Structure 1
Amino acid sequence: MPIESDHRASDSPYVARVWRGSTSGVDRMTSIATSTWELVFWEQQGVMHAAISGPETTASIAETAGDSESFGITFAHGTSMPHLPIGALVDGGRGSPHVTERTFVLRDEQWQIPDFDDAELLVEKLVRAGVLVRDPLVDEVVWGGAARVGSRAVQRRVAAATGLTQGAIRQIERAREAAVLLRAGLAALDVVHKLGYYDQPHLARSLQRFIGRTATQLRQPDPAADPLSLLYKPENPAAS
């Protein structure tokens, strides 16, 4: 397979998911929209890299170069880095200024690169050092929870922690869930009803914008098409 991937949930409130993947013989892929940010490590041609990858508001084409092994920590909504405002990372990212086979630099400090099974140990160290902070209200209200503060305060806190609005987060996550359901064989009309889209054209526009595929292309994948980036069912899907 040109792309192989694996992922797992996390018991850390700071982490949404931990994933790993490999590519072989892939020149480019479709990177689907995501409402979360990640800390990503990858090895390519014997060289280790590390970067922070911000939320992506639309599907896009990502160029790849040869075989690579990658591993990432996807952070939960509400987790952020005070020294690096998330708004500056939306549809972009920032590489570590110095990476070795075993270490990387973040906030001018050197950290050990974790692996798939012990990613939470790095997260705990970053939290203790104040590199990572968490606003628990944000993750709650993103999925429809009631807030004890005014709506404007909620909007400011969501934007500060995620770089996105509540509406944008829910649209992206709903499109991702729709793509998962369609790939599992559910009919487009059933997806419309299940996830609260107005109609099939509404679903079609959402898929094109956030996934870069039509419903038919998801239900009947073309082996010759560019592969999709990591796609998994959201932990807390919310219709909007």
Structure 2
Amino acid sequence: MALHTQDRPSDSPYIARVWRGHSSGVHRMTSVATSHWELVVWTHRGRTHAALRGPETAASTAAVPDDSASLGISFAHGVSLPHLPMPRLVDRQLDSPHADAYTFVLAGTRRPLPTFDDAEEFVARLVRDNVLVRDPLVAEALGGETPRVSARTLQRRVAAATGLTPSAIRQIDRARQAAVLLGEGAAPLDVTHRLGYYDQPHLARSLRRFIGRTATQLRRTDPAQPLSLLYKTHT
């Protein structure tokens, strides 16, 4: 009974993370909140599926098809789809209308399926075809740089590119970072101070909402209901 995952960073400014996984004997997982949207491809019982998954604003329980293989490209903040308003993707999944072992449909065009190793080439083709666009100001501001525009303008551009507010993104990413630290054995009090929570109850509320686990639960694995992908990020 396991959910095996592998992930890697990317040197593309359009990609936050690339991951792949395989399930065996796992029927559900806790899908933790994420501020990124992604393209996911999975194969189950000989059928291939593809979907766009939007940012998730709270933890939830998700079904896991047994003996399935999956691949995901998580897109960087500021990357969006001109043909699809990003707020429509928040807490939603949009399935591709047609997918087979080699291709799927995105933005009305049939495209070859990406792989774990050629994700950057796949995304570069989407950029050339104007399927993906990137707002560098959003990426810079959420990366910690001082915005060159007013707070109102920044709020509008972040919402357009991500479907979320800057505050929501910070809260989600901070909770994910807290979960990683606690899973590595850090003490809750240390995590509270390190990540700027008001106190430990504040940390606890954030974990329940965004991760679906308590600090104690994060210190041990639950093979029957594992967590979705978590990795170290800068907050």
TM-score w.r.t. structure 1 length?
A: 0.96
Partner letter of residue 183 of structure 2? R
Higher mean C-alpha displacement, 134-143 vs 210-219:
134-143
The CA RMSD over aligned residues, in Å, is 1.0
What is the aligned partner in structure 2 of residue 63 from structure 1? Answer: 63
Alignment of 1:124-203 (within 5 A): 124-203=124-203
What is the aligned partner in structure 1 of residue 85 from structure 2? Answer: 85
Report Cα offsets for 1:181-240 as digits up to 9, x if no partner. 00000000000011000100000000000000000000133445x111111112x22xxx
Q: Following the alignment from structure 1 to structure 2, what is the Cα–Cα distance between the partners of residues 222 and 138?
A: 36
Q: Following the alignment from structure 2 to structure 1, what is the Cα–Cα distance between the partners of residues 148 and 64?
A: 45
Q: Following the alignment from structure 1 to structure 2, what is the Cα–Cα distance between the partners of residues 44 and 154?
A: 41
Alignment of 1:209-228 (within 5 A): 209-224=209-224, 226-228=225-227
| Counterpart secondary structure, 1:39 | strand
Structure 1 residue runs of 4 or more that deviate by more than 6 Å after TM superposition: none
Q: Following the alignment from structure 1 to structure 2, what is the Cα–Cα distance between the partners of residues 222 and 77?
A: 30
What is the aligned partner in structure 2 of residue 47 from structure 1? Answer: 47
Partner letter of residue 60 of structure 1? S
Asked if the contact 2:189/2:200 (under 8 Å) is kept, the reply is yes
Report Cα offsets for 1:125-167 as digits up to 9, x if no partner. 1000000000011111113211111111100000000000000
Deviation at residue 100 of structure 1 after TM alignment:
1.1
| Counterpart secondary structure, 1:146 | coil
What is the aligned partner in structure 1 of residue 231 from structure 2? Answer: 232
Q: Following the alignment from structure 1 to structure 2, what is the Cα–Cα distance between the partners of residues 222 and 5?
A: 15
| Counterpart secondary structure, 1:167 | helix
Q: Following the alignment from structure 1 to structure 2, what is the Cα–Cα distance between the partners of residues 228 and 221?
A: 9
Deviation at residue 64 of structure 1 after TM alignment:
2.2
Shift of the 184–69 alpha-carbon distance from structure 1 to 2, 3 Å rule, reads: same
Q: Following the alignment from structure 2 to structure 1, what is the Cα–Cα distance between the partners of residues 21 and 222?
A: 21
Q: Following the alignment from structure 1 to structure 2, what is the Cα–Cα distance between the partners of residues 130 and 201?
A: 45
Partner letter of residue 36 of structure 2? T
Q: Following the alignment from structure 2 to structure 1, what is the Cα–Cα distance between the partners of residues 94 and 109?
A: 15
| Counterpart secondary structure, 1:158 | helix
Deviation at residue 27 of structure 1 after TM alignment:
1.3
| Counterpart secondary structure, 1:189 | helix
Asked if the contact 2:86/2:163 (under 8 Å) is kept, the reply is yes
Partner letter of residue 229 of structure 2? L
| Counterpart secondary structure, 1:91 | coil
Q: Following the alignment from structure 1 to structure 2, what is the Cα–Cα distance between the partners of residues 160 and 109?
A: 24
Q: Following the alignment from structure 1 to structure 2, what is the Cα–Cα distance between the partners of residues 222 and 136?
A: 39
Q: Following the alignment from structure 1 to structure 2, what is the Cα–Cα distance between the partners of residues 69 and 223?
A: 18
TM-score w.r.t. structure 2 length?
A: 0.98
Structure 2: runs of 5+ lacking an equivalent:
none
Deviation at residue 34 of structure 1 after TM alignment:
0.2
Structure 1: runs of 5+ lacking an equivalent:
none
What is the aligned partner in structure 2 of residue 36 from structure 1? Answer: 36
